[in-house]
Amino acid sequence: MKVGGTIRVPGDKSISHRALILSSIAEGTSRIRGILNSQDVESTASVLRMLGCDIPELTSDFTIEGNGIRGFTQPKTPLDCGNSGTTARLITGVIAGNEIHARITGDDSRSRRPMRRVTEPLAEMGAIIEYPEGKDSLPITITGGKLHALDWDNSTSSAQVKSAILLAGLTGR
């Protein structure tokens, strides 16, 4: 018996967030195919648009013209990450190395989820992070700028923490 065909693996949420962010900070044109079009990934696209990136409608095949490594613009409104913790944590890493000031918010469930595991190393690198009094969750305010290298012992095995630090390292001067 001979079997043939094509298998298409569905989009992955983690990779989709990172594809949008990396395409936005790249120089030139990036092509994205097979993105997972979910509410969380839409939150990342929306936040990137608020930061001045030209993100088209998320379809099965589209291109993004990158703004460059420090190409974000000052947002006019708070960056609403909806219910996406990945959006909040990764975008905090990218903003850390950009000379902008942003308030990062989310829905009610985000106000109960910890952010310090991501923001602590970013603050050690030189970003200024402000929390509401007595809280470790959204909303936070971040002022990015010139960062310096650090050695960080990550107490949690979190891809979001590692990605935020790597993105800060890419965008920091």
Give residue 9's pLDDT: 67
The pLDDT tens digits of the residues spanning 11-49 come to 899 999 999 999 999 999 999 999 998 999 999 999 999
* pLDDT band, residue 138 (cuts 50/70/90): very high
What DSSP string runs through the chain? --------PPP-HHHHHHHHHHHHHSEEEEEEES----HHHHHHHHHHHHTT-------SEEEEEEE-TT-----SS-EE-TT-HHHHHHHHHHHHTSS-EEEEE--GGGGGS--HHHHHHHHHHT-EEE-STT-SSS-EEEE-----------SS--HHHHHHHHHHHHH--
- The residue among 133 and 110 whose pLDDT is bigger is 133
pTM, to two decimals: 0.91
What value, to the nearest 5°, has the Cα angle with vertex 168 and ends 97 and 95? Answer: 45
